[in-house]
Amino acid sequence: MAKEYSNGNQNSPAARTPPPPSPLRFSKFFQSNMRILITGGAGFIGSHLVDKLMENEKNEVIVADNYFTGSKDNLKKWIGHPRFELVRHDVTEPLLIEVDQIYHLACPASPIFYKYNPVKTTKTNVIGTLNMLGLAKRVGARILLTSTSEVYGDPLVHPQDESYWGNVNPIGVRSCYDEGKRVAETLMFDYHRQHGIEIRIARIFNTYGPRMNIDDGRVVSNFIAQAIRGLVYFYSTYAILSSIELFSYAIHLCSGESLTVQAPGTQTRSFCYVSDMVYGLIRLMEGDNTGPINIGNPGEFTMLELAETVKELINPEVEIAMVENTPDDPRQRKPVITKANELLGWEPKVKLRDGLPLMEEDFRLRLGVARKK
Ligand SMILES: NC(=O)c1ccc[n+]([C@@H]2O[C@H](COP(=O)([O-])OP(=O)(O)OC[C@H]3O[C@@H](n4cnc5c(N)ncnc54)[C@H](O)[C@@H]3O)[C@@H](O)[C@H]2O)c1
Ligand SMILES: O=c1ccn([C@@H]2O[C@H](COP(=O)(O)OP(=O)(O)O[C@H]3OC[C@@H](O)[C@H](O)[C@H]3O)[C@@H](O)[C@H]2O)c(=O)[nH]1
């Protein structure tokens, strides 16, 4: 008698049994426990996150980046590693891969770069985040968005905790970034509520450290590069033309390598060292809370105080110059980190005075300027 069910019958129990796993499942080839996508992983924070995640041998890391502000150089130690893949990809286009977690960082972070092509910045934040949420939905991945303190705009509440809704100009030159990130947060929560996607949102405050672009334009990288370049110009000229040192000093003053404090200089920021940031992001991804959660260092400094600190630590000779500011510059920023502390067991460890010299070393190497004995 013919078998009642055959494999060809789509309604048979046999046909409904899932197929056995690939015979390569237990082969000698590497099988990771966790495949992690990092968009924007060739950038400053992203590349440090790659370093940390690659330390775990059970992780396989894929970076997707269009290299607008990032660089393969930041990842050179991983290129060719069997657990690492680097893909040139713009997140405004869909990406079809299979991953377990997505750290979605892709977006220029420095004001001069995000203002360079504001329409593209909005597209990156909105379409890019939609695409990554679509990917998370298709494969059931958990997704973390690196949002920003800029969602608080020019805050009327100080310090800022996560319940504050912000004071953002919707039509200003910074809006592509600020409003772009606010929409990205909205999309994250709507995908969470509507489709059950597992989301995590970090609100990052000004972060600094090695590998920032030397011409990034943000305040810490500007001041460190200016202090080092100021030194090289002064000392090299001094060494060669010691008899006319006054002349060389005059040239040094005219060389533009003063610390450019944008007026009024009393505006404040809180600076987080990059290793603290990366640890916070991983704690958030691995914990149970959706966020948004502030991740930043609550130490608060005026830009004049920052300039004085850089001057003292790196180049006591360098001048401080007051220059014109840009529109909509927030007057104050300081995170409340109670949520990060209580929910993630996280707090920053590196003080500004300890982090600046670590960054100085990296900038000296890249600028080819040794510390003067
Ligand atoms: N560094 C900070 O102080 C800070 C503060 C708040 C939020 N953030 C957020 O953290 C993330 C990383 O910041 P960062 O300081 O490392 O900046 P970064 O500019 O060094 O890195 C951003 C990366 O994203 C890539 N990128 C930009 N647009 C892309 C696109 N359309 N498709 C694919 N890749 C793209 C860039 O090439 C770069 O590698 C950003 O989302 C930023 O908004 C950073
Ligand atoms: O050379 C400079 C550069 C900047 N500044 C001042 O330094 C302060 C900080 O400016 P930055 O360019 O470093 O960045 P901001 O803190 O304004 O925003 C940054 O932090 C939040 C992130 O989301 C963004 O990555 C970035 O926009 C501003 O008040 C600015 O006027 C200077 O005084 N001199």
ipTM topping 0.95? yes
Q: What are the structural domain ranges in the chain?
A: 31-227+253-367
310 CA distance to ligand 1 centroid (A)? 25
* Residues with C-beta less than 6 Å from any ligand 1 atom: 39-40, 42-46, 65-70, 90-92, 105-109, 124, 128, 146, 148, 204, 206-207
Alpha-carbon distance of 55 to 125, in angstroms, equals 29
Longest CA pairwise span in the chain (Å): 110
* Beta-strand pair 142-148/272-273: unpaired
- Does residue 262 line the site of ligand 2, with CB under 6 A? yes
Ligand 2 nearest-atom number relative to CA 262 = 33
The pLDDT value recorded for residue 368 is: 92
Sign of CA dihedral 328, 43, 314, 234: negative
Mention every residue, 6+ apart, whose C-beta is less than 8 A from residue 3. Answer: none
177 tagged catalytic: yes
The pLDDT value recorded for residue 227 is: 95
Contact 105, 43 (CB under 8 A): yes
Q: Which of 344, 333, 348, 355 is nearest to 206 (CA)?
A: 333
Chain position carrying tokens 């934040």: 125
Residue 4's identity, in one-letter code, is E
Question: Which pair of tokens denotes residue 18?
Answer: 């899932």
106 CA distance to ligand 1 centroid (A)? 5
Q: Which of 222, 237, 221 is nearest to 323 (CA)?
A: 222
The pLDDT value recorded for residue 2 is: 38
Model pLDDT for residues 297-332, shown as the tens digit of each residue: 999 999 999 999 999 999 999 999 999 999 999 999
Mention every residue, 6+ apart, whose C-beta is less than 8 A from residue 196. Answer: none
| pLDDT tens digit at each of 373 positions of the chain | 333 334 444 455 555 777 776 666 565 555 668 999 999 999 999 999 999 999 999 999 999 999 999 999 999 999 999 999 999 999 999 999 999 999 999 999 999 999 999 999 999 999 999 999 999 999 999 999 999 999 999 999 999 999 999 999 999 999 999 999 999 999 999 999 999 999 999 999 999 999 999 999 999 999 999 999 985 444 443 344 344 334 444 444 445 589 999 999 999 999 999 999 999 999 999 999 999 999 999 999 999 999 999 999 999 999 999 999 999 999 999 999 999 999 999 999 999 999 999 999 999 999 999 887 6
Closest residue to atom 8 of ligand 2, CA basis: 219
Percent of the chain with pLDDT over 90: 82
Ligand 2 nearest-atom number relative to CA 114 = 27
Chain position carrying tokens 């610390």: 259
The pLDDT value recorded for residue 28 is: 53
The pLDDT value recorded for residue 17 is: 78
Model pLDDT for residues 347-360, shown as the tens digit of each residue: 999 999 999 999 99
62 CA distance to ligand 2 centroid (A)? 30
135 CA distance to ligand 1 centroid (A)? 19
Contact 352, 309 (CB under 8 A): yes
- Give the phi and the psi of residue 216 in degrees, each rounded to 5: -60, -35
Which one-letter DSSP state was computed for residue 102?
Answer: E
CATH topology of domain 31-227+253-367: Rossmann fold (3.40.50)
Q: Please name every residue paired with 24 in a beta bridge, in sequence order, or none if there are none.
A: none
